[in-house]
């Protein structure tokens, strides 16, 4: 179900599930995490029962659950949820190429941050690079690729691999130029 929220900037359509996730995020900052986990599990079960575990709605729920766990530094839970997303995406092709690539890219991003947090740096880098490949393979995910490039560059600089970081920066700049060519900018 979709509802319309009004504010001084206009109307924003939002699904009731997204609204629930927003409330859980805000409450999670004030309440204990166990209560938030229970509510997330309830939403996940409800969507799984209503839409099935291979549906786009279920992937959307898993993405939100993984993001919330990641925000609250529950990296083990976030990693399990991201891996569940990847398994669903490998087992079934119930969504469009764009949606499949978007959710795969998001899952890889969350997974890479979880791996980074537990100091599995090589695997974190490989996972992030795989996410970049996925983002670059589909038109419309260029912004996501830019963000992943930025994360990779930051990690490489932290690890003292400056030459590789400079190469990633060059790739990021090239992609940014392709996405927003200077010819399209009109200065008056």
> Could you tell me the CA-to-CA distances from 51 to 20, 23, 105 in Å, in that order?
17, 22, 22
What pLDDT sits at residue 7?
A: 45
pLDDT at 18 over 80: no
CA 99 from chain centre, in angstroms, equals 12
Looking at residue 92, its pLDDT comes to 66
Mean local confidence (pLDDT), 122-137? 93
What whole-number distance in Å separates Cα of residue 34 and Cα of residue 31? 9
User: What does the pLDDT look like over 62-75, one tens digit per residue?
Assistant: 898 898 888 888 88
Count CB atoms within 10 A of the CB of residue 65.
24
Mean model confidence pLDDT for the chain: 81
Whether the predicted pLDDT of 125 surpasses 60: yes
Return the DSSP state at 139.
Answer: T
pLDDT in tens, 73-113: 888 989 999 999 999 888 766 677 788 889 999 999 999 99
The most confident of 10-24, 65-79, 152-166, by mean pLDDT: 152-166
Domains in the chain: boundaries: 2-180
CATH (one of 3.40.640.10, 1.10.40.30, 2.10.50.10, 1.25.40.10) for 2-180 = 1.25.40.10
């Amino acid at each position: 179900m979709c509802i319309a929220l009004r504010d001084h900037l206009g109307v924003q359509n939002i699904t009731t599930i997204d609204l629930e996730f927003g409330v859980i995020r805000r409450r999670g900052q004030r309440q204990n995490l166990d209560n938030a986990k229970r509510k997330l599990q309830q939403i996940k079960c409800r969507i799984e029962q209503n839409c099935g575990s291979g549906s786009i709605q279920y992937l959307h729920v898993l993405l939100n659950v993984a993001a919330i766990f990641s925000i609250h530094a529950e990296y083990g839970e976030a990693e399990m949820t991201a891996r569940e997303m990847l398994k669903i995406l490998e087992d079934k092709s119930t969504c469009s190429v764009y949606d499949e690539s978007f959710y795969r890219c998001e899952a890889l991003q969350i997974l890479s941050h979880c791996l980074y947090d537990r100091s599995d740096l090589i695997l974190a880098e490989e996972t992030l690079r795989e996410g970049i490949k996925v983002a670059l393979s589909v038109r419309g995910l260029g912004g996501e690729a830019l963000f992943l490039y930025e994360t990779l560059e930051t990690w490489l600089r932290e690890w003292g691999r400056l030459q590789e970081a400079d190469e990633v920066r060059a790739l990021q700049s090239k992609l940014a130029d392709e996405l927003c060519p200077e010819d399209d900018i009109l200065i008056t």
